A and B are shown apart, each in its own frame.
Chain A
């Protein structure tokens, strides 16, 4: 690489043996070229500039200005830059030195300072590598709904995860939702992220409350006759009709009389959209949690038909086999929160629907029956409705009709 060459004070002619350094023309560390004057010296005759025969970097100067220097004494040393030897002969360094056609391999490129925090959540190393998913889109859908791909069994070839697999997993949330990261409880309580299904549901509920000016009215009703009618219906029948199915039929009858409640508000166009069909959502509690399957075209179904379909959907929900079509598109929801053992509630409308009928528990309660105190099966019914689609009269009328059907099921027979 660099070779240090010593330049001695040359014989300046005329038999001189020494000279006085008048002025240095270069500094240590400076780059000098071959033949570049480096110092002015004074001889007996004149001041002379002395050129240096080496090109490179000055590494040392000898003698101060005003000092006498003898001929042949070192004047300065120069580190001669590029290698003068044939480059490939030198095996010493790993660099090339000056090459036939260029500067050579030279020093490695300097690094730009990079200060990047490691990715959120620690190491981004995925333990088992990626899972095969049919497309990035489906992969994204899974991510957005907090579905852990590794927990799925793909129904595509070689276990390829298809869109249907992910959508099925979405329909059966909570259990398959992203596991809560095991974070140590902070002093101010433990934190559960609102992500995946939990987050999606939270968003929907917030939106509902935010956008819909809802109101609720409720009424207690005597369901004793309804239960008796049901018992009579089911006597000797193989397929049982559930109370919920009966309530569903009551809903559709009520909606036929008050179609305003089977609507949705299009906020963009500022219009109320009266929907033609009743797609009735009903809450079903399964081992996997709460799901709301939808009975399509409930208005066209009989009690038996409703019972059958609701049983099927409930079974599918329990098995986690509901399709997206069975989970979406509802126009009205029947919310049987009575299974939790409570009477009343102010349910949150299932946006973008306009109304929800809430049914509390059916429990024996004191009642006035034919003028006297009796113990009857009483149920509290509540209607939450989007006040934009109708006024209190409509809502009250709807709820009254439902209550009448519950108390005197024969009323329903008028709509058979």
Chain B
């Protein structure tokens, strides 16, 4: 008699089917890509160009002091766009602070998306309307939220899939583990999207995990894992769409790891030369998501002047509009500090608000009298 003969215990799931792709899944440049809808490819292209322009513009705005900080997703545009486009209107996105591009690709107004980073409030868009959770500053804490929300929707009989984004660093946090476990046990309709961009500020992959890949971690929770080339926009889109579909159909959660690279430093105030080589960055530039897609479009005869200028014009329009609006002063109301602390303002807060009100009035009067 061995433990295998015991009545209670037996392996619940065959691990092998859960294991991810042996190599990161690719589409662009493969024969399979020929079958891809041209509209999808040109659409992705426009979004990537716009996305790259958005990253550059946001970085520039930070250098001008219009944003407090900007953690750029430059180089990761394929992941950002892929995530946004794989979702249907009723689905929910759970972004981290680096995922503003995914948020605006989902349709959120860029100025509203950047409110946190500009610093006039902590979140600028209506989450209930946009189906986008507030940008999460602490890492991985949004993952259990995604599980809970998806679970609640299902309890109410609604067809909603939650896509939670996290980086390689975030997978080390306890919340990552707990969220995946809950999701798998509950069979929640969630897609966990790990953007492995190689660094958690300065800490490289080798110091973050010893797992063969993040996608392999899925096996441990009993959910399927997918490994995809994060700079291949078509592949990312395909894998995420499939994962969303599985969740929608009751197949439970999926862990998708996209292998990509953080071209810029952690934020504009970080000095990446301290912990990585420029040659490494250059190598990755050759694998740039826009370049990859352009190559495919060229092969398919879809990359013409019209497409390029249309994409660039749209990108410039977005950038100019963002610039103009960000160059305006933010509308600030200090009294708002006391408004949304509780459902009902406490007497103590009323007192404190009155004190600030009096100070502001005195300031205003003093200014007027000068």
Contacts and interface: CB of A to CB of B under 8 A. Distances in A.
Q: Do chains A and B touch in the complex (CB under 8 A)?
A: yes
B268 interface: yes
Nearest to B359: A112
Given A98-B268, A112-B362, A55 B63 contact: yes
A101 B267 contact: yes
A89 B271 CA distance: 10
A104 B173 CA distance: 28
A316 interface: no
Interface string A28-68: 00010111100000000000000000011000000000000
B238 to A, nearest CB: 34
Contacts of B268: 82, 98
B interface bracket (residues with beta carbon within 8 Å of A): 20 to 34
A123 to B, nearest CB: 25
A86 B38 CA distance: 44
Nearest to A113: B366
Interface in A86-104: 86-87, 89, 97-103
B269 A35 contact: no
B65 interface: yes
Contacts of A101: 68-69, 267, 269
A211 interface: no
Contacts of B266: 100
Interface string B336-370: 00000000000000000000000100110010011
A93 B61 CA distance: 23
Interface string A113-154: 100000000000000000000000000000000000000000
A85 B265 CA distance: 12
B60 A55 contact: yes
B306 interface: no
B63 to A, nearest CB: 5
B179 to A, nearest CB: 24
Interface in B40-80: 56-57, 60-66, 68-69
Interface in B284-305: none
B271 A86 contact: yes
A287 interface: no
A82 B64 contact: yes
B235 to A, nearest CB: 31
B270 interface: yes
B269 A87 contact: yes
Contacts of B359: 112
A81 interface: yes
Interface of A: 31, 33-36, 55-56, 80-82, 84-87, 89, 97-103, 112-113
24 contacts: A33-B57, A33-B64, A33-B323, A34-B60, A35-B56, A55-B61, A80-B63, A81-B63, A82-B63, A84-B63, A85-B271, A86-B269, A86-B271, A87-B269, A98-B62, A98-B268, A100-B266, A100-B269, A101-B69, A101-B267, A101-B269, A103-B65, A103-B68, A112-B359
Given A56-B63, A98-B69, 17 more contacts: A31-B64, A33-B64, A33-B323, A34-B57, A55-B61, A80-B63, A81-B64, A87-B269, A98-B269, A99-B69, A100-B267, A100-B269, A100-B270, A101-B69, A101-B267, A112-B363, A112-B366
